[in-house]
Chains A and B, each alone.
Chain A
Amino acid sequence: MKQSKRFFMIPYFIWIGLFVIAPLVLILYQSLTNTQHQFTLQNYATYGTSTTYLHMSLNSLWYAFLITAITLLISYPAAYFLSKLKHQQLWLLLIILPTWINLLLKAYAFIGLLSRTGSVNQFLTFVGIGPQQLLFSDASFLLVATYIEIPFMILPIYNAIVELNPALINASRDLGATNWQTFRRVIFPLTISGVKAGVQAVFIPSLSLFMLTRLIGGNRVITLGTAIEEHFMTTMNWGMGSTIGVVLIVMMFIIMALTNDRRKKRREVNDDEEN
């Protein structure tokens, strides 16, 4: 019995070993070598002392935060109303559909829409306020990134809302709670797991977005993702690129730890009720 169980685990272990453990080890190893393949901590020292990298890291965090916040703000109400609709499966499909299309294609589609001769500017010209510089701005970068990430936020939140027992909402209203109080005290706490899953699914990839920063942001937005691409493709400084990779991985673990369900603190009855 045990023997065969182990046997079936083998593909899993091979997968994990080849595609998770080995790359991590390689990145770590690369980050500890310089361009002459000698062991060094210089890359980390550079990262730690350079204001450019500090600025880039903060930039990455800031944009990832913005993208996550905007998606959350749009997705929670959207998921909530979605859960009340009649043909939910159809609406869900419409939301999932764009995720099946290649990111690059979507980026080019937006370039087509937002460029100086694009349809948006044609419309702006038509109403007499165009053409405007839409592409290569912070706003367009945030717009496209949000558009791309929204399905990954809506789905987990929608699932959490659908799983919510409607009797609990009745119970809350029965005990005198207004709609807002019911939302704050019952619905939101019980769907927070979906929000956390959504935040993970959006924030972490947003940390290392690089294609959009170039195509839509016109390199005005420089993030750690852009820096990694530079180091690997242009300056060929793999050590420094890997170091930034390690920093990103550490950030991801921190986000995971922060958004994972922690065991609820026990409150003694003798203590004052926190409110």
Chain B
Amino acid sequence: MAAPIIELQGITKTYDDGFTALSNINMTIEPGKFYSLLGPSGSGKTTILRLIAGFTNASSGAILFEGQKINDLPANQRKVNTVFQNYALFPHLDVFENVAFGLNLQKRPKAEIKKRVLDALKLVQLPGYANREISELSGGQQQRVAIARAIVNEPKVLLLDEPLSALDMKLRQDMQYELRELQQRLKITFIFVTHDQEEALAMSDEIFVVNDGKILQSGTPVDIYDEPINHFVANFIGESNILPGEMLADYQVEFVGKTFECADAGMKPNEKVEVVLRPEDLDVTTAEQGKLVVTVDTQLFRGDHFEIIGIDDDGNEWLIHSTNPVRGGKHIGLTFEPEDIHVMRFGEKEADFDARLEQYEED
């Protein structure tokens, strides 16, 4: 593990009005990686970025940059740049001058500034817009100028606050590729805020799931998707079937009145738990061969898969993704592997969760 470039240690942020926006945030950011902060509106994502950028002070805790405490370092001396959620472009400057702002302050040679600014504008797909006034740009164009204004400085760490939120699907995907490519080429550390879970899953090396001023879980996209720590994370990241269950013994869980073999262990006998089954892990077979039998309620074609909603005898709804449509017969069977079942304990802390997975999963 490389030496971390940024560390947040026990950060708490209480605003002047007494509202605690963040409580006990711990984060370790390694150089050159792509991190996402994923969470619903108002969860504290922007506040985390503002603390790292230096626009606001932590109420307690330490912020470290390359091992040095920077709590009191003013924003202009921190080696980070920000793409602001509301763009914050300078209205009295045109596009070129906005993007050149940081380089001008660094007193770079004119020719170099011009080249880098025009390159940055090309990267955000706005070549030929250099002379436009900010007021003459659409929202999506302004957002891309904001991205260009930050990346042109090639900082060690780039903080991006929902930088693609105003773009249409096609442009958004293009920009996702461009940003990821740029990040890997220049080895810049990205801390990328989004509430689009697909974007976070697609782009990140590591994701922090934030809710209510706390980090619920952190890990690689695959880890978080396959092993969400609790109901909130399972629901927020991807679609899922979440059912109440009971852990009969290690590797044995009961739900919908049946006992299944599973891959989870380390809980108390007969502990009440929640069980997650991802829709794409459910395979459709005949009613006789199914571990579960459901009645098809609706079936929608989603372009790359069929989305089937089935209802079992107990009245639970099941969401199923299937490459093939169900034909004839409203009763279908569902099968899945023991590894497809993910068991979640109530109120388990991330550290305990990680330790338990480590202990039981390797063998």
Chain A, residues 182-195, CB within 8 Å of chain B (1/0): the string is: 00011001100000
A-chain residues with CB within 8 Å of residue B110 when the two chains form the complex: 272-273
Give the contacts of B46-100 with A (CB-CB under 8 A).
Answer: 53-55, 74-76, 80-82, 84, 86, 88-92, 94, 96, 100
Min CB–CB distance B95 → chain A (angstroms): 10
Q: B81 to A174, Cβ gap below 8 A? A: yes
Chain A nearest CB from B80 CB (Å) reads 8
Q: In whole angstroms, what is the CA distance A266 to B95 when docked?
A: 12
Q: Mark A47-76, 1 if CB is under 8 A from B, else 0.
A: 000000000000000000000000000000
CB-CB contacts below 8 Å: A155-176 with B: 165, 167-168, 170-176
Most chain A CB neighbours (cut-off 10 Å) among B94, B104, B131: B104
Query: Does any Cβ of A come within 8 Å of B219's Cβ?
Result: no
Q: In the complex, A106→B174 CA distance in Å?
A: 68
B131 near A177: Cβ-Cβ < 8 Å: no
Q: How far is the CA of A185 from the CA of B53 in the complex (A)?
A: 20
Query: Which residues of chain B are near A170, meaning CB under 8 Å?
Result: 53, 55, 75, 82, 84, 88
**Which B residues are in CB contact (< 8 Å) with A167?**
84, 86, 88
Knowing A172-B101, A267-B94 touch, does A177 contact B76 (C-beta < 8 A)?
A: yes
Q: Find chain A residues with CB under 8 A from B101 CB.
A: 172, 175, 177, 185
Residue of A nearest to B104 (CB): A275
Would you call B114 an interface residue if the criterion is a C-beta within 8 Å of the partner chain's C-beta atoms? yes
Return the chain A residue nearest B105 by Cβ: A176
Are B90 and A186 within 8 A (Cβ)? Answer: yes
Give, as a whole number of angstroms, the nearest-CB distance from A218 to chain B. 45
Residues of B whose CB lies within 8 Å of any CB of A are 53-55, 74-76, 80-82, 84, 86, 88-92, 94, 96, 100-102, 104-106, 110, 113-114, 118, 130-131, 133, 149, 153
Q: List 21 A-B contacts (CB under 8 A).
A: A167-B88, A168-B88, A168-B90, A170-B53, A171-B82, A171-B84, A171-B90, A173-B54, A174-B76, A174-B81, A175-B81, A175-B149, A176-B76, A177-B101, A177-B105, A178-B76, A185-B101, A190-B92, A266-B131, A269-B114, A272-B110
